[in-house]
Amino acid sequence: MSQTATPPRLRGCSVFVSRASFPTADVDEYYWIDLIGLAVVNREGQALGNVADLLDTGAHSVLRVTQVETDAQGRSLERERLIPFVAAYINAVSLEQRCITVDWGLDF
């Protein structure tokens, strides 16, 4: 497709593109698909969970990080953190180590 307008027949559909068709990302640019599943730790080395998804706010992307925790009764609960994907909070992204280091507290 070379047009920016969405043809009516494609509205509400998923469109898939071969990875071979992706242009090479610049330094410090990442495809969302490469970030999903990465572990997220803070600067103190505390695990915050894994990237479950990303959201687009228009201003910037936001990591949706989920972590399964166990409560006092032994029930599994999923905790969700929304971390802006901006330089102020993202310290490092290592696709090789499958980890994102963030400036984010456990209590956020």
pTM above 0.85, yes or no: no
Residue 1 has pLDDT above 70, yes or no: no
- Does residue 97 carry a pLDDT above 90? yes
Q: Vertex 62, ends 56 and 65: CA angle to 5°?
A: 130
Mean pLDDT of 39-68: 97
Residue 58 CA to residue 75 CA, distance in Å, equals 36
Model pLDDT, residue 9 = 81
What domains lie within the chain, and their CATH numbers? 23-102 (2.30.30.240)
Task: Judge whether residue 79 has pLDDT over 90.
Answer: yes
Q: How confident is the model at residue 16 (pLDDT cuts 50, 70, 90)?
A: confident
* pLDDT for the residue numbered 12: 83
Tokens of 8: 């009516």
